[in-house]
Amino acid sequence: MFHNEVISKLPRHLMQLVIDQHYERYSWQDHSIWRYVMRQNLAFLKDKAHSSYLEGLARTGIILERIPDINEMNRILSRIGWAAVTVDGFIPPAAFMEFQAYNVLVIAADIRPIDQVEYTPAPDIIHEAAGHAPIIADPDYAAYLKYFGEVGSKAFSSSADYELYEAIRYLSILKADPFTSPDVIAKAEYDLALKEKSLGIPSEMALIRNLHWWTVEYGLIGELENPKIYGAGLLSSIGESAGALSDGVIRLPYTVDAVYYNFDITKLQPQLFVTPDFAYLTTVLDEFAHRMALRKGGIEGILKAIESGSTATCVYSSGLQVSGTFSEYILHQNQPVYIRTSGPTMLSYDNKQLEGHSKDKHAHGFGSPIGRIKNTFKPPRYLDDGDLAEIGIRKGKNVHLEFESGLTVSGKFLGTTRCEGKLVLMHFDNCTVRYAENIIFEPGWGLYDMAVGEQVISVYSGPADPDAFGLEFPIPKEKTHRFEHTEDQKELFRYYKQVRDIRDSGADASELAPIWKKVSASWPGEWLLPLEMAEYCHQTNSQPELVKSLWKKLEDLASENEAVRNVINRGLNLLR
């Protein structure tokens, strides 16, 4: 892979999702599919896409003639501070957004089959490279995309969310495979519908994914009555880009209420949202972020962490980050005054694990008070050694600490841990922690590390230092289907290559005649290759008899086969 400084900063748990592009696997028909879609998109989008689209194609290394090489893309993207990696289809939403936070575009390595030229339910390189990449050349949009990644990757998911993701991924893989039987697809659609109905109250991730869909994937920009396209799903879909601006699609002003509009990736969207400009996208995202545990913290955030049943991080007002699976809390006057994790827990500051406080150190969980210490006027994070001495807390001495909540900590004081001058931990031996009549830590449990902070100011999904914690995203159950081309297909692809060589070299169009004779006899349903031949004859203004034969064949196919009618007619329209 081309060395891109942005990629070198990716954490290990994201790099585990990156795969090789295997550029050599693309057939010459694949390159023609790319070229067909790009020609159609450029013809339609030149005055309907946001103004940054056409400029962005050039600035991000996207060319018309062939599928982009990820190495070449990275060479060019590095100039604007971004990078791209290839992955296997849909990846977990949290991972997708975290890549964005690192200024990395995630690109599905596969390309849609020829029977899904207009629209594919699975992510492919047309959607990712030709859809997502160009718009990031706009600084305001690039800033929004990065910010979305930073916020979205911290959103809480539920176990039902992950099951839904698996079902969506599975269905998209089945639909992208031309050999999948209708019965298998029908069952997968039924299973997906059941999972959607059983989601219950939507999680933060479910809601923020809606915002992502209606902006990054299917967004419109400008005036409500005459908007432009910027969403990648529209920029990469011939069918939907045309439909998006038709009277058949409802257009709504973009607001935070878009979180309540769910979407179906396998169908055309019934409504789309229009933002006045890219800066407004960040305004709406900020509005939603203020509703998240990431910004609210407190008991609401703690409850979300417990309900998630997975690794989360609680941030004390001192800056101490506690990462683990949260299981218990104590309330006093409706405020959290104690939290506890079960299982391996890590303590961090500024997203870096504190020395001596790994998961191994706190292998059986971590519990600590929240709140102010009695008889102190400063917030606890600002207490220096003199302040502690004034209330009887001296190193090597037995002390009794009482919080305003009534919770007490008694034991031999061993010292403190400070970060950037702030008190974040106090350490005790032979320690007892009580609340009311309950003992919540006993001397026999070992040394006691007490977190310091009067509030939990932020709670978010995942560990503060993912690599130190050993975070790994679960491996999807279903891999993208790979299949070998038949000898018949390989022979057809060789003719695609011959036609491309004729066009690239500027050879006489008469060389197409024997190719057409063979193709028309052996592959009577083939439409894309004769369309490319007709295009070259049109371009060179030659071979009228060959053009007549090609044109008649294409018109007959369009008339007889509804499945290819639109793509053929769109191709012919570019030649008229």
CA distance 238 to 226: 19
Tally: H helices and E strands in the chain: 24, 17
Structure tokens at 360: 């191994």
Place of tokens 């590095």: 78
- C-alpha distances out from residue 400 to 30, 366, 389, 428, 431, Å: 73, 20, 12, 11, 10
Give the phi and the psi of residue 285 in degrees, each rounded to 5: -60, -40
Q: What is the mean pLDDT of residues 522-549?
A: 96
Mean pLDDT over 65-79 rounds to: 88
Cβ count near 497 (within 10 Å): 14
Residue-wise pLDDT for 473-510, tens only, equals 877 777 777 778 899 999 999 999 999 999 999 999 99
CA triplet 59, 84, 134: central angle to 5 degrees? 30
Residues 266 and 374: their CA atoms lie apart, in Å, by: 59
H/E run at residue 94: helix 93-101
Task: Read off the amino acid at residue 492.
Answer: L
Q: What is the pLDDT of residue 246?
A: 85
Rounded Cα gap, residues 469 and 482, in angstroms: 34
How far CA 317 is from CA of 350, 448, 458, in Å, comes to 12, 20, 8
pLDDT of 265 > 80? The answer is: no
Question: Are 566 and 554 contacting, i.e. CB atoms less than 8 angstroms apart?
Answer: no
Q: How far is Cα 70 from Cα 20, in angstroms, rounded to an integer?
A: 9
Query: Binning pLDDT at 50, 70 and 90, where does residue 2 land?
Result: low
pTM above 0.85, yes or no: yes
Determine what percent of the chain is predicted with pLDDT higher than 90. 70
pLDDT in tens, 301-345: 999 999 999 999 999 999 999 999 999 999 999 999 999 999 999
Return the closest-CA partner of residue 98 out of 211, 163, 15, 213: 15
Dihedral sign for Cα 79, 80, 82, 88, please: negative
- b/e per residue 367-376 (b: at least 16 CB within 10 A): bbbbbbbeee
Q: Which of 8-17, 157-166, 227-236, 485-494 bottoms out in mean pLDDT, i.e. has the lowest?
A: 157-166
106-115, 161-170, 180-189, 530-539, range with greatest mean pLDDT = 530-539
Alpha carbon distance 564, 29 (integer Å): 16
The residue assigned the tokens 């799903």 is 233
More confident residue, 485 or 409: 409
pLDDT score recorded for residue 573: 93
* pLDDT of 120 over the 80 cut: no
Structure tokens at 366: 């971590």
Please count the other Cβ atoms lying within 10 Å of the Cβ belonging to residue 565: 14
What would the pLDDT profile of 171-204 be if each residue is shown by its tens digit? Answer: 888 887 878 899 999 998 889 888 888 777 889 9
DSSP state of 49: B
- Helices 159-176 and 182-197: angle between axes, nearest 10 degrees: 160
Band of the pLDDT at 266, cuts 50, 70, 90? Answer: low
Round to whole Å and give the CA distance between 211 and 479. Answer: 27
DSSP 511: G
In angstroms, the CA 307 to CA 311 distance is 11
410, pLDDT greater than 70: yes
Look at residue 363 in the predicted model and tell me its pLDDT. Answer: 96
- pLDDT tens for 139-164 read 999 999 999 999 999 999 987 888 88
Query: For residue 193, what pLDDT is reported?
Result: 85
Mean of pLDDT values over 467-471: 95
Q: How confident is the model at residue 43 (pLDDT cuts 50, 70, 90)?
A: confident
pLDDT score recorded for residue 207: 94
> Residue 1: pLDDT above 70?
no
